[in-house]
Amino acid sequence: MANALDSFFGAMSDPTRRAVIERLARGPASVSELHAPHAMALPTFMRHLKVLEDTGIVRSIKKGRVRTCHIDPEPLIAVQGWLAWQKEIWENRLGRMDALATSQEHFDD
Amino acid sequence: MANALDSFFGAMSDPTRRAVIERLARGPASVSELHAPHAMALPTFMRHLKVLEDTGIVRSIKKGRVRTCHIDPEPLIAVQGWLAWQKEIWENRLGRMDALATSQEHFDD
């Protein structure tokens, strides 16, 4: 799990790679379609795609000369789980502090 | 927003930094308390803390010789928003595909 989070967060720390995810969330696309809006050489873009494929969030299928990419949501769901877990612990803590403050008020009465 | 996501995802891509967030979700802690479970030199650990402070997710207050750190949840909420947005687009798309498949079945009847 540690490695999956490392690589997912690392992959998402780049705006080009997030743009690819935003595009693929709308549906599968070929490598050329994904590359088109980005002002960078194809080999540079392919390195970004490889980072995304290595995390497992992007998968691709080659048919003839066209490689089509799509999202695999598994890593996204795992990461949302981690973030939600942190938020829950943090909110529970705030909830306990509120409860403590309220009971303290009653004690002061 | 692009920069905030860059730096947040970059910060979260390291297991030491995620461990600090997991600890601070449970409540504020001094730098020494945060450092204790990590088998690394203090200056190395301080660099990790600085990355977290630079993203805004960790804030610290120095009182006398003790620096106490706490979480600021703003960046976490922004990132959860981005992930949830991608998931929503993706799920809506799957929903439309289901609807299309269903209407196609009716058409075939």
For residue B67, give how far its alpha carbon lies from the nearest alpha carbon of chain A (Å): 20
Q: Is the confidence at residue A103, as pLDDT, over 80?
A: no
pLDDT category of residue A74 using cuts at 50, 70 and 90: confident
Please tell me which residue, B89 or A42, carries the higher pLDDT value.
A42
CB contact under 8 A, B93 and A12: no
Look over chain B and give the mean of its residue pLDDT values, rounded to a whole number: 88
State residue A109's pLDDT score.
55
Q: What is the tens place of the pLDDT at every residue in A16-26?
A: 999 999 999 88
Look over chain A and give the mean of its residue pLDDT values, rounded to a whole number: 88
pLDDT category of residue A45 using cuts at 50, 70 and 90: very high
What number is the ipTM of this complex? 0.76
CB contact under 8 A, B93 and A15: no
Q: Mark which residues 48-77 of B lie under 8 Å from A by CB.
A: 71, 73, 76-77
pTM score, whole prediction: 0.80
pLDDT category of residue A11 using cuts at 50, 70 and 90: very high
Chain A residue numbers touching B82 (CB-CB < 8 A): 18
Residue whose C-alpha is closest to residue A68's, from A42, A35, A33, A30? A30
CB contact under 8 A, A7 and B18: no
B102 phi-psi bin (left φ>0, alpha ψ -120 to 50, beta other) = alpha
Average pLDDT rounded to a whole number, residues A3-32: 93
Element (H, E) at B59: strand B58-63
Q: What is the tens place of the pLDDT at every residue in B50-71?
A: 999 999 999 999 999 999 999 9
CB contact under 8 A, A93 and B25: yes
Is residue A63 helix, strand or coil? strand
The answer to whether B21 contacts chain A (CB < 8 Å) is: yes
On whether the CB atoms of residues A88 and B76 are closer than 8 A, the answer is: no
State residue B2's pLDDT score.
56
**Structural domain B2-108, CATH architecture:** Orthogonal Bundle (1.10)
Chain A residue numbers touching B48 (CB-CB < 8 A): none
Domain ranges of chain A: 2-108
